[in-house]
Amino acid sequence: MLYSIRRLVASAALALVLAPPAAAQVDLAELTFAEVFRGISGATSITHAGDGSGRLFVSEQVGRVLVHDGESLLSAPFLDIRDRVRAGGERGLLSLAFHPDYAANGYFFVNYTDLGGGTVVSRFQVSSDSNLADQESEVILFQAAQPRRNHNGGQIQFGPDGYLYIGMGDGGGAGDPPNLAQDLSSVMGKMLRVDIDQGSTALAPESNPFVNTPNARAEIWAYGLRNPWRFSFDRLTGDMFIGDVGQNAVEEISFQPAGSPGGENYGWRLMEGSRCYNPRTSCNAAGSLVLPILEYANSGGNCGGSVTGGYRYRGTRHPQLSGTYFFADYCTGELFAAYQEDGAWEQLGPRETGITIRTFGEDEAGEIYFADSGVVYRIDAPRPLPQISEGGVVNSATLRVDSGLAPGSLATAFGVGLATATEAAEGRPLPYQLGGGSMTFNDVTAVPQIFAAPGQRNFQIPWELAGLAEATLAVTVEDMTSPAVTVPLARVSPGVFTLNSLGQAAALIASSGGLVAGPAGVIPWARPARPGETLLIFATGLGPVTNPPGTGAAASADPISATVEPVSVLVGGEPMTVVSSGLVPSFSGLYQVNVELSENAPSGSAVPLVIQVAGVDSNTTHIAVEEPPANPTAEVAP
């Protein structure tokens, strides 16, 4: 049963999925660019293998892929296909992408210009040495002749749907003379979407928008692009951002929301950004073209502007950057950022960097990198002053403060800069230092912690605060301490833990071997409870106990730490028989109430359950209670 309790507690913690902090207006002037490594030449892409190794892989335009193992750049290239690549200008080895299941199958993919000047997308496999590819394992999956030597696109990325996306330029030539970007019979000027798991050829999924359109290339996912040099997917939302290089007036970022069925027309050559190009007027009379979410002016000339599409920040080092999209200009070395607020995109910048930004990339943790020809940099931000949000200290079960929080209970503090790393406590007693920081009440009382992250800390309110009406809480991270906030205290603050957003109570059926009293099929390992069965309900904040453990220490099993205040349980508004209530042995701050369901307990898939302690109600949660069987001996009226 202890295993079931641990599983239930873990599930309750995982069910608390909080929305990421809204992107704030980033001060680009405060960003720093940490040099991670140098020694590459002509970087074209930066990515990771998704295999837990933490390595970064950089493709070089000449035809090599190099590996940085987290400490140094390895001397031997991961892949060297210089004998197959035509490099120079906008041609060469342009990107690579690792299969979503790379850790199991060892497949990765490259996009390069072959010796004849055409686009090739092929698959390779890693060798028995994880830092060396099998040079002879190439399988060519897709090829396309290029009419000119520029506007090859070149980015490949796996989308959240598991398909490979291929960015294709319009084939070159000022103004797309053949209008290939609008021609559905050509792959030029398109975003392609292909299935690479069905053999030795890239196939168009049946869900592609033009599969059944006569004379259209089935691989096309979206069209009307000039040169989508770099594009990316938001790892949190699945949205696609496309940096489309302009002609001589406008550089743009186009956008495709997650869940789109495809088929968007991004306008080129009818439009350049939000301006008419060819024709000069009435280019979007039907309003069917998808306009960019972000754009800036190109100053014209040989290199007056060339957008380098980037990534939306989803890392953990700098929570204040969460949701911020970064992009840059190759020609000017300017860095831009943008964030979405109330459905509209706000653009920030530019900031001069003095760096020719050729490409962006992400590591496994979501940190953002960029590279010039020979150096890879990471975008960093100043560590913010730790700050607890106003009203941000709450009961961990209810996410409310109500009249106060009870000593001994589990609480959560939300804010910014609350940790330097994400870390969970291991074992008991709970640590006082976690995630690079600590917490104190009233400047002197140390606080045992369960979980730490930049945006929140979960902790136990010290038993030593019993009897106080309030206390001040501060967080110290390395050498910085947050302003103290006042936390109201109460003798009891009952809260029942829930397993999902529907309010399913963390309640086990005692005789079932660990099943949750919930609707079968809605959550794993659940069934409705039956009248007469005993439920084990998990909660916090039930107040003082007999045989109290030390703050942060595990509760004892013999003798049990029983609650002092009277506890009652209502199911569907009806009182149930409480068998026992107290702290869960081997845990800190976690209470368990054992209650017997009466024969007249209301039935249903979401029956309200409330714990009352000393007349104070908990949050309202739900359990499932089985319908009573029909009485087979009941007389049937004539």
In this prediction, residues 170-183 reach a mean pLDDT of 96
- How many angstroms separate the CA atoms of 434 and 451, rounded? 7
Q: Which helix (H) or strand (E) holds 6?
A: helix 2-15
pLDDT on residue 492 = 98
Given this model, what pLDDT does residue 2 score? 46
Q: Return the higher-pLDDT residue of 78 and 19.
A: 78
The amino acid occupying position 486 is: T
At residue 633 the predicted structure's pLDDT band, cuts being 50, 70 and 90, is: low
Mean pLDDT across the chain, nearest whole number? 93
Q: Beta strands 456-460 and 410-416: pairing type?
A: antiparallel
Distance CA(219)–CA(97), nearest Å, equals: 18
Beta bridge partners of 597: none
Of 325, 350, 327, 329, the C-alpha closest to 338 is 325
**Residue 634 confidence class, pLDDT cut points 50, 70, 90:** very low
For residue 525, what is the DSSP state? S
Determine what percent of the chain falls in helix, strand and coil, rounding each to the nearest 5. Answer: 5, 40, 55
The per-residue pLDDT for 39 is 97
> How far apart are the C-alpha atoms of 225 and 268, rounded to whole Å?
5
pLDDT band at 9 (very low <50, low <70, confident <90, very high): low
What pLDDT, on the 0 to 100 scale, is given for residue 627?
86
Tokens of 260: 């789109």
Average pLDDT of 70-94?
Answer: 97
| Residues in Cβ contact with 331 at an 8 Å cutoff, skipping those fewer than 6 apart | 303, 304, 305, 306
- The label of the residue with tokens 């690549």 reads 85
- With a pLDDT cut of 70, the percent of the chain lying above it is 95
Rounded to an integer, what distance in angstroms lies between the CA atom of residue 355 and that of residue 334? 8
**CATH 2.120.10.30 domain position(s) in the chain:** 27-380
Mean pLDDT of 335-340: 96
Pick the CATH number of 495-625 from 3.40.50.410, 2.60.40.10, 1.20.1250.20, 2.60.40.3080: 2.60.40.10
Is residue 189 within 8 A of residue 171, CB to CB? The reply is: yes
Q: Which CATH architecture has domain 27-380?
A: 6 Propeller (2.120)
DSSP count for the chain of H helices, then E strands: 2, 47
pLDDT more than 90, % of the chain: 87
pLDDT digits (tens, 9 = 90+) for 569-607: 999 999 999 999 999 999 999 999 999 999 999 999 999
CA angle 529, 530, 536 (to 5 degrees): 50
> What pTM, to 2 d.p., does this model score?
0.75
Residues in the chain: 638
Could you give the dihedral angle defined by the CA atoms of residues 387, 392, 393 and 398, in that order, rounded to the nearest 10 degrees? -150
Q: Is 29 helix (H, G, I), strand (E, B) or coil?
A: helix
> What pLDDT, in 10s, does the model give residues 142-168?
999 999 999 999 999 999 999 999 999
Lowest mean pLDDT among 11-15, 113-117, 626-630: 11-15
- Decide if 412 contacts 457 (C-beta within 8 A): yes
Q: Write out the E strands in 174-239.
A: 190-194, 220-223, 230-233
Q: Please tell me whether residue 503 adopts helix, strand or coil conformation.
A: coil
- pLDDT at position 25 is 57
Lateral strand order in the sheet of 119-126: 93-98, 107-113, 119-126, 133-144
Helix (H) or strand (E) holding 527: strand 526-527
18-67, pLDDT tens digit by residue?
434 444 558 999 999 999 999 999 999 999 999 999 999 999 999 999 99
325-329 sheet: strands from edge to edge: 307-312, 325-329, 334-341, 344-352
- pLDDT computed for residue 327 by the predictor: 98
Burial of 583-594, coded b for 16+ CB within 10 Å and e otherwise, reads bbbebbbbbbbb
Report the top-level CATH class of 387-488.
mainly beta
Q: Which two tokens stand for residue 553?
A: 């220490």
Rounded average pLDDT over 480-496 = 98
pLDDT tens digit string along 377-434? 999 999 889 999 999 999 999 999 999 999 999 999 999 889 988 899 999 999 999 9
- Tell me which residue of 13, 14, 39, 165 sits closest to 95, measured CA to CA: 165
Rg of the chain over all Cα atoms, to the nearest angstrom: 30
Judging by DSSP bridges, how do beta strands 604-613 and 164-167 pair with one another? Answer: unpaired
Write out the residue limits of the CATH 2.60.40.10 domain(s) in the chain: 495-625
SS3 letters across 429-452: CCCCCECCEEEEECCCEECCEEEE
| Centroid of chain to Cα 555 | 35
Q: What pLDDT is stored for residue 318 in this prediction?
A: 87
The candidate with the shortest Cα–Cα distance to 358, out of 165, 226, 229, is 229
Take residue 306 and report the two structure tokens written for it. Answer: 């060339």
Structure tokens at 348: 């920030």
Q: What φ, ψ does residue 601 adopt, rounded to 5°?
A: -60, 130
Asked if the model's pLDDT at residue 10 lies above 60, the reply is no
Q: Write the Ramachandran bin of 211: left for phi over 0, alpha for psi from -120 to 50, otherwise beta.
A: alpha
**Nearest-5° angle of CA 504, CA 506, CA 510?**
120
What's residue 524's pLDDT? 76
Q: Are 429 and 419 in contact (CB under 8 A)?
A: no
Q: Which positions ≥6 away from 160 have C-beta within 8 Å? A: 233, 238, 258
